Chains A and B, each alone.
Chain A
């Protein structure tokens, strides 16, 4: 299938545990961030987004935290399930009319 999970850092978690996936961004002027999930053989899928005027946003079983002081973004997945196994990557945008810049991704592997 279509995937580029090779050579990516891997996070291995036990099924049922919480997962924390981290992303460091480089541009302190970035004002919008998105987390995407990419399953093997599929295209990236939107999970959750957050604007820079927020430091936390919750979705269904996922929470995104933004720490602008250290330019750090994290995705927390509660009660991780086998279906959560995928490559996760963050994207940032800097101001209006700028493009999204995507990170390289992290592979989440869920142990049964």
Chain B
């Protein structure tokens, strides 16, 4: 299994509070991604990173920010959590840019976030 660790794995928080999810990889892969997974939807891309300090928005980026200060860590922050952000969040990594080639994505185990 690819060395990807997400933390926390479970979190319950209240509306309006900030939340940060962490993704840590030991594979030294250049590309990192944050997805959310909800019933009735496929995985949807929130943000991705193509290198240290290089990030870009995905299809559902509103209400989320990311940071990547080191190759191994990619943080997802909800500045002010809302109930619509209750979801399972997955981090993924790839050696190559999955958007420009056939790069295989390796996923973490997921972080279940509940916003009350």
Question: Across the two chains, which residue of chain B brings its CB closest to A44?
Answer: B107
Which residues of chain B from 85 to 109 have a CB within 8 Å of any chain A CB? 88, 90, 92, 98-102, 104-109
Contact call B105/A32, Cβ cutoff below 8 A = no
Q: Which residues of B contact A7 (CB under 8 A)?
A: 39-40
Please measure, in the bound complex, the distance between the C-alpha atom of A98 and the C-alpha atom of B99, giving whole angstroms: 5
Contact call B101/A89, Cβ cutoff below 8 A = no
Q: Which residues of A contact B100 (CB under 8 A)?
A: 96-97
**Count of A-B residue pairs with CB < 8 Å:** 71
Interface: A16 (CB within 8 A): no
Chain A residue total in the interface (Cβ 8 A):
30
Q: Which residues of B contact A51 (CB under 8 A)?
A: 102
Q: Which residues of B contact A91 (CB under 8 A)?
A: 42-43
**Can you add 11 more A-B contacts, CB < 8 Å, to A46-B106, A99-B59, A99-B98?**
A2-B9, A2-B112, A43-B92, A49-B104, A89-B42, A91-B43, A93-B98, A93-B99, A98-B99, A104-B42, A105-B42
Chain A residues in the interface with B (C-beta under 8 A):
1-4, 6-8, 32, 34, 41-46, 49, 51, 89, 91, 93, 96-105
Chain B residues in the interface with A (C-beta under 8 A):
4, 9, 37-45, 58-59, 88, 90, 92, 98-102, 104-112
